[in-house]
Structure 1
Amino acid sequence: MLAEMRIQGLGVIDDATLELDPGLTVLTGETGAGKTMVVTGLNLLGGGRAEASRVSEGAGRAVVEGRFVAGPAALALAEEVGAESDEGELIAVRTVSADGRSRAHLGGRSVPIGVLGRLAEASLAVHGQNDQLRLLRQADQRALLDRYAGDAVAGPLQAYRAVRAEWLKVAGELVERRDGARRLAQEADMLRHGVAEIEAVAPQPGEDRDLVQEARRLAAADDLREAAAAARAVLAGADDAADAMDAPGAVGLVGQARHRIAAAGDPELTALDPRLGEALAVLDDVAAELTGYLDRLDADPERLATVLSRQAELKSLTRKYAADSDGVIAWAADARSRLDNLDTSDEALAALAARRDELAAELAGHAAALTAARTEAAGRLAAETTAELAGLAMRDASLTVGVAPRAAAPEAVDAGEAIVVDGAPRLAGGSGTDEVELRLTPHAGATPQPLHKGASGGELSRVMLALEVALADADPVPTMVFDEVDAGIGGRAGVEIGRRLARLARSHQVVVVTHLAQVAAYADRHLVVHKAGSGGVTRSSVRTLDEGERVVELARMLAGLDDTSSGRAHAEELLTTAASDKRSATAAPKARRRR
C-alpha cells in the first residue's frame, strides 16, 4: 500500500505531504484548491506522462515522492533493478523539470520511467474520468471480465496464447512459402522459356563477331573488287592493254630492269640480278593472290540477306540475356543448372499446411474453453453488478455482459488470420475469439444499450464503481484511487457510493477525491486541500482533519458555506449514519464470492 506521498512544485501545490492509512481515505477541498494535482502526482508516481506545464510557476522542477509498503511483486521488482528496500518499504521518486525532462528513482537508484509503471501495476490503480472513457472500449471490457473470472480464464488464455504463437509462426511460414513457391514457379517458367528460345536459335561461340565481318565484306563487295583489281593491275599490268609494253606493271618493269642489266655485261650490275629475281618472285606471288581474291569475291545478295537475318536472331537474344553470343550460351548453361536445383514441389507446403491445421484445431479447443469460461463469468459479473447498481439508486437498472464470437470471412482461415470454432470461422486475436460488450438497461422497459450509447455521466460513474466492487476479490492491486467517481451524482446515490467505497476499503487501501459530503462521511481518514493567496499567487497545502474539523468540512460541502447550524447538524447526521453502516458491515461481513 501507499503509506505516504509528498508533492513539491506541482501546479498550485507548493509543498504538501499526504499521510495515508489502510482503509478509506478521502480528499476534499474547494474548487481550484488542487485536488486534481494530487491525482496528477499519483499518476506521475505510477509512471504516467509528464508535462512541463504542470510544474509550478517559478519552480525549477516538480517532485513527487511515495513511500510504499511493498508486497512480494514490488520487492521482486526492486531486486531486479537493484533498488534498496528498508524493512519492506520502497521509496519511489518522480521529478519533472520546467523544460519537460523527467527522471525516476526507486530505492535510491535511478531507473527508467517504465519501472515506476511496473511498480504501479503491482501496487497502485488510479481510476479517473479517463478510466470511465476506457470502460466504453470493448477491449477494456473484455480485460475487465477476464480480471473478474480470475484463474478460470487465465489458464485457458495462457494455453491459447502459447498455441496461438506457434500457429501464427507456422501459418506465416506457410504463407511465405506459398508466395515463394509462386515466385519460384514464375522463375522456372522464365528460365524454361529462355532456354527454349536460345536453343531454337542455337548460337555458336564467336558467331556474332564472325557474322559482323562477313556482312561487312558482302555489303562492300564492289568496292573491294575495284581495290583488288587496281592493286593487281599495278603489279601485273592492265588486263585490257594491247601490248604488255604499254602497261607492263611492276612485274614487267622488274623484268625489263633485269634484261638491261644483263645486256650491259658489267659484273657489278650483274651482281644485282639475284635480288631483282627475289623481288620479282614476291611480286608474282602477291599478284597471284590478288587474282585468287578477285576470283573468290563474287557479289552474293542472298548470302548477305541470310547473314543479316542471322544477326537479327542473335541480337534478339543479346538484348535479353547477355551482351554477345558467348554470354547468351553461358546464360543458357546457368539457367539449365538453376532449373535442376529449383524445388517447386508441393510436399513441403503440404506438411506445413497439415501442421497449421493441427495447431488450428488445438487452438480452437482452447478458444472454446476460453469462451465457455468467459460466458460463465459474464453471467455472475452481470448479476453482481446489477445488484450493486440497485444499491446505487439505480434499482431498476441492469447490466448484461455479452460474450459473442468475432466472425471472420472463410478466406481468412486459409490466410492464417482465423480458425474454425464450432464449424464457423472466427478471428483469432491475442485474447481469444470473443467480443465482450457491456450493455446497460438504465430503467425498466428500456432497451439494453452499449455503455457508450446508453449511460449518462452519472450512470457511468456508478457502473464503474459497481464493477470495481464486484471485482474487489479478484483485483490484486492493494491501493485503489478514485478521482471523482461520484461525478454527476448527489443525494441518496452519494450515500450508497460511500457505503460501497467503505466496503471496498475492507480489502484494499482506497483513496477517493470527492465533492460529495455523503461520500466523505465514510472516510477512515479525511484529508483536505486548502488554498491560500499571497502576493497574487495561490498556493495549496494538504492536512488531515480531526473529528471536529470533519464536521465543519462536511457542512461546507453540504451548504456551500463555512459554517451553518443546519449544515453542521446534517454533517453530524451523515457521520453518525456512516459510522453505524461501517460497524454493521464489519459485524456481518459479506459472504465470500464463489470463484
Structure 2
Amino acid sequence: MIEEIRIENLGVIGRAHVELGPGLTVLTGETGAGKTMVLTALNLLLGGKADPATVRVGSATASVEGRVVLDPGAPALARAAEAGADLDDDGSLVLLRTVGAGSDGTTGRSRAYVGGRSVPQGLLAELADELVTVHGQADQARLRSPAVQREALDEFVGAAHRELLASYRGAWAQRARVDAELTDLVDRARDRTREAELLRLGLAEVERVDPQPDEDVTLADEVERLSHAEDLRTAAAGAHTALVGEDDGADGSAAVGTIELARRLLEHEGSHDPALAALATRIAEAGYLLADVSTDLAAYLEDLQADPLRLEAAQRRRAELGSLTRSYGSTIAEVLAWADTAGRRLLDLDGGEGRIDELREDRARLDAELGTLAEQLTSGRRAGAERLSTVVSDELAGLAMGGAELRVVVEPADEPGPHGADRVEMLLVPHAGAPARALGKGASGGELSRVMLAIEVALATAPGATRPGTFVFDEVDAGVGGRAAVEVGRRLSSLAQGSQVLVVTHLAQVAAFADRHLVVTKSTADGVDVVTESDVRLVTQEDRVRELARMLSGQEDSHAARTHAAELLELSSVGR
C-alpha cells in the first residue's frame, strides 16, 4: 500500500504532500489544477520514463518521494533488500525519483533511490509490477490488443495455468535454441566438410613426418657440430695438449704439470706457514679441475667423428621438419600443438552428423512436449473463457450495461507461438439484440472504461488472484454519466474492500463512494500558477458536500447542487 507521496517542482506543482490510505481514495479538482501531475509523479515513482520538460520552470530538479508498506514476505521487499535498501523503523520502504531539467530544458538526468540506496530505474519498474496496477486512457486502448486480452484471460484462469504457461514458454525457448543450432549445422555442412578435409591432410602430413618434441632444436645442434667437425677436433686437441702436453704430461710446460709443480713446492714449505698451506690446497683443487677437463677433452676427441652421411641425413630431416613449420607453426612445438588442436576439432566436425541427429531428436521431443502443453493451455483457456465471460457480463449488468455481454473466444492461431497455439479475442455485445463486435472495433470509450473495470474486478476477485495491492484509475469514468457513473463508483468501492484504490475523476457520482476525498486546487504566486502543500486538501463533511456540488453544477454554493451532493453521499453509504 502507498502511504504518501511528496512532490516538488513537477509541472504546476511547487510542493505537495498527498496522503493516501486503504480503501478508495478519489482525487478531484478543476481542470488544470494539477491532478494529472499527481499521476505523473506516481508514474515516475513506479519507474516510468522521465521527461525533463515536466520539471517546473525555473527549477533545476523535480523530485517525487513515496512511502510504501509491504507485507513481510512480499517479493518486492525481497527484491529491494537484494539491492541494499533499508526499511524504516515502521517497516515501510521509501522510494525516491529525481529528474533534472538540463541546461537547455530538454535534456536532464534521472536518478532513482530505494530505501536510501541509489538503484537503476528498472528496479522501480520491477517493484511497481508487484505494488501497483495502473489504468488510464492508454490502458483502455491497450485492451483492444489481442495480446493484452490473452494476458487477462491467463491471469484469470489461475496460478496453475500460469505455471503451465511458464513451462510452455521455457520449452518454446529451448526449441528455438535447438532449431537455431540445427539450422546452423545444416547450413554450414559444406564448410565443415571442407574444413575437415583440410585438417585430415594436415594431420596426415604431420603423422607421416612424425616430429618429436624439440627435434628441430636437437637437429640444428647436430648439423652445426657435424658441419664443423674438423675445426672442433683441432680446437679440442690443442686444448688437450695445452693441459697435459704431447705425452700425457711429459711436457713440463703443460698446464697440468705446471700446476702440479706449484702444488708440490707450496706443500713442501707449507708446514711452516698455514697461509701458504691454504694456497697449496687451492692450487691442488685447480689441478683436480684441470685433470677432469683434460679427461673430458680426451673423451670428446674420441667420440667426435666427421660423418658426411649422418650430416646429409640430419639436413634431410631438417628439411622435412621445415615443411611442417612453414605450414603449421614456426617451431616443432607449435606444430605439435596445432596437431593436438586440429585433432580435437576434427572430432567435433566428424561428430557433426551425430550432433545433427541428436538435435533432430531433441526437436521432435520438444515438439511433442509443446503439443501436449499447448493442448493443456487451450483446455484451460477455454474453460476460463466461459467463466470470465460470465463474471464480466454480470459485472457489466451492474455497471448500467443491461443486456450487455462479453464473450471471450479462444480459437486456434494460424501457427503456434511463444504463448501457445491459441488466439484469444474479446467480443462485446453492447446491448440485447446487437451483434458481437471485437473490443478493438466496436466499443466506445465509455464502454471500454466499464469493460476494463469489470475485467479488473473479475481478475482481482478470481480464486488465487495475484493482483497487486494498489490500483490506480485515471478517468476510468470517461464517457460515462448518470446511473452508469453511480455503478462505476459502486464497483470501485467494491474493489477497494480488499485493495487500495486511487481514482482521478471528474464525476461526483464516483467521488461520492470514496473513503478519502482529496481535492487539488492551485494558487497564484508572482503571477504564476502553483500548487502548494495547502492546495491538496482532504475534504470531509460540509467541505466534501461543497466539492461534490461543484462537480455536479460548477456552483459549490448552489442549494440544489448541495442537496443533490448530500443525496449522493447518502446513496453511496447505503450502497456499501
TM over 0.5: yes
Q: Shift in Å at residue 351 of structure 1? A: 2.8
Are 1:41 and 2:41 counterparts?
A: yes
CA shift at 1:69, angstroms? Answer: 0.7
Between the two proteins, the alignment pairs up a number of residues equal to 424
Give the drift of 1:434: 1.9
Q: Displacement of 1:190 after TM fit?
A: 12
1:461 matched residue in structure 2 = 449
**Displacement of 1:357:** 0.3
Q: Deviations along 1:30-71, whole A, 9 cap, x unmatched?
A: 011011001101100100001011111112211111011123
Q: Cα distance 1:188–1:151, how it changes in 2: closer, same or farther (>3 A)?
A: same
After superposition, residues 147-166 of structure 1 pair within 5 angstroms as: 147-166=155-174
Q: Is the 8 A contact 1:441 1:449 kept in 2?
A: yes
Retained in 2: the 8 A contact 1:152–1:373? no
Q: Deviations over 1:314-358 (max 9, x none)?
A: xxxxxxxxxxxx9xxx99xxxxx99x9864974442332122101
Cα drift, residue 169 of structure 1: 2.2
The equivalent residue for 2:459 is 471
| 1:401 aligns to 2:389 (yes or no) | no
Q: How does 1:65-144 map to 2 (within 5 A)?
A: 65-71=65-71, 72-86=74-88, 87-99=90-102, 100-144=108-152
User: Counterparts of 1:12 and 1:472 in 2: how far apart (Å)?
Assistant: 34
Q: Does the CA contact (< 8 Å) of 2:185 and 2:352 recur in 1? A: no
C-alpha separation between the residues in 1 aligned to 2:375 and 2:130? 30
Partner residue in 1 for 2:426? 438
User: What is residue 374 of structure 1 aligned with on the other side?
Assistant: 381
Q: Distance in 2 between matches of 1:83 and 1:396?
A: 51
Once the two structures are TM-superposed, the CA of residue 8 in structure 1 deviates from its matched residue by 1.0
Asked if 1:59 is matched to 2:59, the reply is yes
Whether 2:394 is the aligned partner of 1:387: answer yes
Alignment-mate amino acid for residue 561 of structure 2:
G
Amino acid at match of 1:180: R
Instruction: Please say if residues 61 and 95 of structure 1, whose CA atoms lie closer than 8 Å, have aligned partners that are also in contact.
Output: yes
CA distance in 2, matches of 1:46, 1:444: 41
| CA apart distance, 1:508 | 0.5
Counterpart of 2:8 in structure 1: which amino acid? Answer: Q
Residue 545 of structure 1: aligned partner = 539
* CA offset digits 1:504-560 (Å, max 9, x no partner): 000110000000000000000000001122332111231100111110000000011
Identify the residue that residue 249 of structure 1 maps to in structure 2: none
Corresponding residue for residue 221 of structure 2: none
2:526 is aligned, of 517, 524, 535, to 535
Structure 2 contact 8–62 (Cα < 8 Å) conserved: yes
Q: Per the alignment, do residues 184 and 108 of structure 1 end up closer, same or farther by CA in structure 2, a change over 3 Å counting?
A: closer
The equivalent of 2:50 in structure 1 is 50
**Mapping of 1:328-367 within 5 angstroms?**
343=350, 346-367=353-374
Does residue 502 (structure 1) correspond to residue 480 (structure 2)? The answer is no
Secondary structure (helix, strand or coil) at the match of 2:521 reads strand
| Partner SS state of residue 458, structure 1 | helix
CA contact (8 A) 1:479 1:509 kept: yes
TM-score relative to the length of structure 1: 0.68
Are 2:171 and 1:172 equivalent residues in the alignment?
no
What amino acid maps onto 2:440 in structure 1?
Answer: H
1:12 aligns with 2:15: no
State the Cα deviation string for residues 79-137 of structure 1 (Å, max 9, x = none). Answer: 10111002320011111111121111111111111111112111122111111111111
Asked if structure 2 preserves the Cα contact closer than 8 Å seen for 1:13 and 1:539, the reply is: yes
Give me the whole-angstrom Cα distance separating, in 2, the residues matched to 1:564 and 1:2: 36
* Matching residue's letter, 2:79: L
**Counterpart contact for 1:184–1:344, Cα < 8 Å:** no
Counterpart-to-counterpart distance in 1, 2:353 and 2:52? 61
Unmatched 5+ stretches in structure 2: 103-107, 201-322, 329-341
What's the CA shift string for 1:136-180, capped at 9, x where partnerless?
Answer: 111111111111112131121122123223322222221111112
Distance 2:352 2:487 in 1: 71
CA distance in 1, matches of 2:87, 2:352: 63
Q: Say if 2:86 and 2:93, in contact at 8 Å, map to a contact too.
A: yes
Instruction: Please state whether the residue corresponding to 2:178 is helix, strand or coil.
Output: helix
- Pair 1:556-2:554 in alignment: no
Distance in 2 between residues matched to 1:7 and 1:522, nearest whole Å: 26
- Pair 1:523 & 2:526 matched: no
Partner of 1:573: 567
TM-score normalized with structure 2 length = 0.70
Output the CA distance in 1 between the equivalents of 2:196 and 2:537: 82
Per the alignment, residue 478 of structure 2 pairs with: 487
Change (3 A) 1:191 1:44: closer
Matched residue of 1:27: which SS?
Answer: strand
Provide the rounded CA distance (Å) in 2 between the counterparts of 1:189 and 1:116.
56
CA pair 157-539 structure 1, distance change in 2 beyond 3 A: same
Q: CA, structure 1 residues 345+149, in 2 after alignment: closer, same or farther (shift >3 Å)?
A: closer
Distance 1:350 1:96 in 2: 56
Rounded to whole Å, the distance in 2 between the matches of 1:180 and 1:77 is 44
Q: Which runs of 5+ in 1 are unaligned?
A: 193-325, 332-336, 409-426, 583-595
Instruction: Report the Cα distance in structure 1 between the residues aligned to 2:190 and 2:380, rounded to whole angstroms.
Output: 43
DSSP-derived class of the 1:433 partner: strand
Which deviates the most, 542-551 or 169-178? 169-178
Q: What does residue 31 of structure 1 align with?
A: 31
Per-residue CA deviations over 1:200-236 (Å, capped at 9, x if unaligned) read: xxxxxxxxxxxxxxxxxxxxxxxxxxxxxxxxxxxxx
What is the one-letter code of the residue matched to 1:154? R
Shift, 1:187, TM fit: 7.4
* CA-to-aligned-CA distance 1:411-452 (integer Å, 9 cap, x gap): xxxxxxxxxxxxxxxx232x2222211111112222222111
Q: State how far apart, in whole Å, the 1-side matches of 2:186 and 2:410 are.
A: 36
Contact 1:78–1:85 (CA under 8 A) maintained in structure 2: no
DSSP-derived class of the 1:472 partner: helix
Report the residue type matching 1:162 in the other structure: G
Cα distance in 2 between the residues matched to 1:362 and 1:561: 66
SS, match of residue 358 in structure 2: helix
What letter is aligned with 2:492? L
Please give the secondary structure, in 1, of the residue aligned with 2:514: coil
SS in structure 2 of the partner of residue 561 of structure 1: coil
Quote the Cα distance in structure 2 between the aligned partners of 1:133 and 1:156.
28
| Separation (CA, whole Å) in 1 of partners of 2:121 and 2:351 | 52
Structure-1 separation of matches of 2:10 and 2:360: 59
For residues 47 and 457 of structure 1, the distance between their equivalents in structure 2, rounded to whole angstroms, comes to 27
Which letter does structure 1 place at the counterpart of 2:362?
R
Instruction: Tell me, in whole angstroms, the C-alpha distance in 2 between the residues paired with 1:526 and 1:468.
Output: 22
SS at match of 2:21: coil
Compute the RMSD of aligned alpha carbons.
2.5
2:504 to 513, 523, 528: 513
8 Å CA contact 2:556–2:562 kept in 1: the answer is: no
CA contact (8 A) 2:196 2:350 kept: no
The whole-number CA distance in structure 2 between the counterparts of 1:187 and 1:7 is 66
Q: Does residue 417 of structure 2 align to residue 428 of structure 1?
A: yes
Determine the C-alpha separation between the residues in 2 that align with 1:93 and 1:187: 58
